[in-house]
């Protein structure tokens, strides 16, 4: 590939505040705006910055005007509503801080479970009439629409066929997440999961079953980012954005991707390791996105742990029988919060929250000893692949 | 064969579809039971979904052109739930696939796969068929194992 890789923003911008709401099937009458504001308040309090210091705001579907007005941020100089996953907002915010468009930025994502999620959701007029588009669904969609959901399910089938892999490879992602979620009070699903349960779970779109798809939740997450310099004067150990990138090919549509191995994730991996001073062997904790389980397998392969098609055997080889979860080389856990499959579907915001929490050393009984470097790969392999190396400052 | 509708009438025939100048030829083709995908008039390159420029030669002479509808299943899923769709019953599994068309490597069209009791599979040959949906023809594929 062509362009010279530059990374002037290396370690220049830091996460300094983290906030969230409970992850619930029904937040009981709260709007998506309310959830965003709840998360934002806790993030701002966690960061210990004054409202007047926040001069940038970046959100997903809830308009930044609403959140700024509700919180009373008196003067912002940069704002953006961006597309998902959450990582794309983080990249925008990082760039805004690095460029000087703003100095301290609030980044948030919130969503309400859509009306199609369940019978109770379908009976809630606020869900029926205010369907948030967090999962790319809309009224014009039919069974045959080549949506992202279609794409990941159909590519999962081709993956299993191409590499001669069974569904148990996907099941390891779900089981690993559930074992980790047992130690995350924030997670929606915390009961242990067996392979037998996984293989017997309700099929949604073959070969993916209900346990391969992250459960929709009513939830909000927010973060405060600022310059590394300013971060050193605040209360927490800063978590530095060491390297960040997105990646997409010119065939990004769900059914037109040239091949499983010629996708955004290969561009991300190449660019990320070119930008980073650290290598895969330096990573202490890994957060492959798992909105669909196949995405996590694809990231294990793309970042360089193994070859395409080998993620299932790789996870099995690095499985800790005692802990019923993955520990790569006996050391590196994957999705210590449970991933979005167990914690809840928040477009990768949960992966960032956990990465920051681990690198601060604040993860309690989930803490990875001495965690200094986290690899976070939100998004999938069609049109929204992204990758990050985060380091404790 | 009824006379082709004008642009305003096309919107009436396909409510909810995001019609534009780049895909109107595809949907107008539905009404004549022809699957027409965009093809470059200059270099012959096919492209889907419908976009206004040829990525190979940058010609804007892109014309909705009939394909044979023959190809092989490249991607496949059997749906047990999904968006409410007229005439679609997910109860016993509804197969949807992306068919790699014989016209060009990598040119794929996604729709239902009908297979009369046999289980469809990746690599299986298919042919185009037309069904009626919401008062307009709709293209699907029939497996020919």
- Which pLDDT tens digit goes with each residue over B72-127? 999 999 999 999 999 999 999 999 999 999 999 999 999 999 998 899 999 999 99
Q: Strand, coil or helix: what is A265?
A: helix
Q: How sure is the predictor about B1, in pLDDT bands with cuts at 50, 70 and 90?
A: very low
Q: Is the pLDDT of residue A1 over 70?
A: no
**What per-residue confidence (pLDDT) applies to B16?**
85
Which phi and psi (to 5°) does residue A5 adopt? Answer: -90, 125
Residue A154 has its nearest CB partner, among B77, B93, B111, at: B77
Burial readout A60-81 (b: 16 or more C-beta within 10 A, e: otherwise): bbbebeebbeebebeebebbbb
Question: What is the Cα–Cα distance from A249 to A302, expressed in whole angstroms?
Answer: 15
Asked if B96 and A142 come within 8 Å (Cβ–Cβ), the reply is no
For A20, the enclosing helix (H) or strand (E) is strand A13-20
Residue A264: inside a domain: no
Q: How sure is the predictor about A134, in pLDDT bands with cuts at 50, 70 and 90?
A: very low
Cβ within 8 Å of residue A274, ≥6 positions away: A5
Question: What is the Cα–Cα distance from A133 to A130, expressed in whole angstroms?
Answer: 9
Tens of pLDDT, residue by residue over A323-350, are: 999 999 999 999 999 999 999 999 999 9
Q: What ipTM is given for this predicted complex?
A: 0.95
Tell me the CA distances in angstroms from A16 to A39, A46, A57, A144, A233, one per residue in order.
14, 8, 15, 44, 10
DSSP annotation string for A53-121? G--EEEESSS-HHHHHHHHT----SEEEE--SSHHHHHHHHHHHHHHTS-SEEEEEEEE---GGG-HHH
CA-CA-CA-CA dihedral for A308, A312, A317, A321, to nearest 10: 160
Pairing of strands B36-40, B46-47: antiparallel
**Most B-contacting residue of A142, A145, A148, A382 (CB-CB within 10 A), to test interface:** A142
- The architecture of the domain spanning B68-145 is Beta Barrel (2.40)
Yes or no: say if A169 and A161 are a contact pair by the CB < 8 Å rule: no
Tens of pLDDT, residue by residue over A167-212, are: 999 999 999 999 999 999 999 999 999 999 999 999 999 999 999 9
Of B105, B81, B87, B109, nearest to B97 (Cα)? Answer: B109
Q: How sure is the predictor about A136, in pLDDT bands with cuts at 50, 70 and 90?
A: very low
Q: What is the CATH number of the domain that holds A18?
A: 3.40.47.10
Domain enclosing residue A72, as ranges = 13-111
Q: Is the pLDDT of residue A133 over 50?
A: no
Count of CB atoms situated within 10 Å of the CB of B142: 16
Q: What is the DSSP letter of B5?
A: P
Q: Is the pLDDT of residue B19 over 90?
A: yes
Yes or no: say if B145 and B118 are a contact pair by the CB < 8 Å rule: yes
Residue A100: inside a domain: yes
Tens of pLDDT, residue by residue over A358-374, are: 999 999 999 999 999 99
CB contacts of B93 in chain A (<8 Å) are 206
Residue A90: inside a domain: yes
CB contacts of B137 in chain A (<8 Å) are none
Asked if B85 and A144 come within 8 Å (Cβ–Cβ), the reply is yes
Residues A148-158, mean pLDDT to the nearest whole number: 97
Q: How many CA atoms lie within 13 A of A117 on its CB side?
A: 24
Count of CB atoms situated within 10 Å of the CB of B131: 12
Question: What is the Cα–Cα distance from A94 to A10, expressed in whole angstroms?
Answer: 10
Residue B111 has its nearest CB partner, among A144, A157, A203, at: A144
CA B119, A293, A345, A379 torsion: positive or negative? negative
Tens of pLDDT, residue by residue over B47-82, are: 999 999 999 999 999 999 999 999 999 999 999 999
CB contacts of A202 in chain B (<8 Å) are 80
- Burial category of A213 from C-beta neighbours within 10 Å (exposed 0-12, middle 13-18, buried 19 and up): buried
Tens of pLDDT, residue by residue over A204-247, are: 999 999 999 999 999 999 999 999 999 999 999 999 999 999 99
Q: Strand, coil or helix: what is B108?
A: strand
List residues of A whose CB lies inside 8 A of any B CB. 116, 137, 139-146, 150-151, 153-158, 161, 202-208, 250-251, 253-256, 258
Residue A21: inside a domain: yes
Residue A147: inside a domain: no
Residues A7-19, mean pLDDT to the nearest whole number: 98
Pairing of strands B71-79, B125-133: antiparallel
Q: Which residues partner with A79 through β-bridges?
A: A57
Question: What is the Cα–Cα distance from B110 to B75, expressed in whole angstroms?
Answer: 9
Question: What is the Cα–Cα distance from B133 to B37, expressed in whole angstroms?
Answer: 20
Angle among Cα A202, A168, A256 to the nearest 5 degrees reads 80
Asked if B96 and A143 come within 8 Å (Cβ–Cβ), the reply is yes
Domain count, chain A: 1
Spell out the domain ranges in chain B. Answer: 1-66, 68-145
**Most B-contacting residue of A147, A255, A263 (CB-CB within 10 A), to test interface:** A255
**What per-residue confidence (pLDDT) applies to B5?**
79
Q: What is the mean pLDDT of chain A?
A: 95
**What per-residue confidence (pLDDT) applies to A2?**
59
Q: Is the pLDDT of residue A139 over 70?
A: no
**What per-residue confidence (pLDDT) applies to A129?**
79
Q: Which residue of B has its CA nearest to A149?
A: B82
**What per-residue confidence (pLDDT) applies to A290?**
98
Q: Which residue of B has its CA nearest to A258?
A: B106
């Amino acid at each position: 590939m062509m362009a010279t890789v530059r990374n002037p923003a290396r370690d220049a911008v830091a996460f300094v505040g983290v906030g969230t709401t409970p992850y619930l099937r029904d937040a009981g009458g709260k709007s998506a705006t309310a959830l965003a504001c709840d998360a934002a308040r806790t993030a701002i309090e966690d960061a210990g910055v004054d409202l007047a210091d926040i001069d940038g705001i970046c959100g997903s579907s809830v308009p930044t005007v609403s959140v700024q007005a509700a919180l009373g941020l008196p003067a912002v100089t940069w704002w953006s509503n961006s597309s998902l996953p959450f990582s794309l907002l983080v990249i925008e915010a990082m760039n805004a801080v690095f460029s000087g468009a703003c100095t301290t930025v609030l980044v948030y994502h919130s969503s309400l479970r859509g009306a199609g999620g369940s019978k109770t959701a379908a009976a809630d007029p606020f869900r029926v009439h205010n369907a948030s588009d967090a999962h790319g669904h809309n009224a014009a969609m039919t069974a045959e629409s080549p949506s992202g959901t279609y794409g990941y399910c159909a590519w999962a089938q081709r993956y299993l066929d191409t590499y001669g892999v069974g569904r148990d490879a996907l099941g390891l992602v779900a089981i690993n997440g559930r074992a980790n979620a047992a130690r995350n009070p924030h997670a929606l699903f915390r009961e242990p999961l067996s392979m037998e349960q996984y293989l017997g779970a309700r099929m949604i779109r073959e070969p993916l079953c209900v346990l391969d798809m992250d459960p929709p939740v009513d939830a909000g997450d927010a973060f405060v980012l600022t310059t590394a310099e300013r971060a050193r004067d605040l209360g927490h150990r800063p978590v530095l954005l060491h390297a960040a990138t997105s990646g997409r090919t010119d065939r990004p549509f769900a059914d037109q991707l040239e091949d499983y191995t010629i996708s955004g994730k290969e561009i991300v991996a190449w660019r990320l390791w070119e930008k980073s001073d650290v290598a895969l062997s330096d990573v202490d904790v890994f957060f492959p996105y798992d909105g669909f389980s196949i995405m996590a397998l694809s990231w294990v392969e793309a970042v360089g742990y193994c070859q395409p098609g080998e993620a299932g055997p790789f996870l099995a080889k690095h499985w800790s029988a005692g802990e019923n979860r993955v520990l790569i080389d006996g050391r590196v856990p994957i999705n210590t919060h449970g991933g979005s499959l167990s914690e809840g579907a928040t477009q990768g915001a949960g992966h960032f929250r956990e990465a920051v929490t681990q690198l601060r050393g604040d993860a309690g009984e989930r803490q990875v000893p001495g965690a200094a470097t986290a690899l976070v790969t939100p998004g999938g392999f069609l049109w929204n692949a992204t990758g990050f190396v985060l380091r404790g400052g | 064969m009824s006379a082709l509708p004008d642009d305003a009438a096309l919107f009436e025939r396909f409510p909810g579809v995001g019609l534009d100048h780049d895909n109107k030829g595809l949907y107008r083709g539905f009404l004549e039971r022809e699957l027409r995908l965009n093809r470059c008039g200059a270099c012959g390159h096919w492209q889907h979904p419908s976009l206004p420029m040829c990525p190979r030669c940058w010609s804007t002479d892109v014309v909705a052109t009939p394909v044979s509808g023959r190809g092989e299943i490249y991607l496949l899923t059997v749906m047990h739930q999904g968006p409410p769709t007229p005439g679609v019953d997910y109860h016993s599994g509804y197969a949807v696939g992306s068919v790699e068309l014989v016209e060009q490597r990598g040119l794929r069209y996604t729709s239902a796969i009908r297979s009369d009791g046999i289980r469809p599979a990746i690599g299986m040959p298919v042919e185009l068929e037309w069904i009626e949906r919401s008062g307009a023809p709709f293209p699907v594929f029939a497996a020919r194992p």
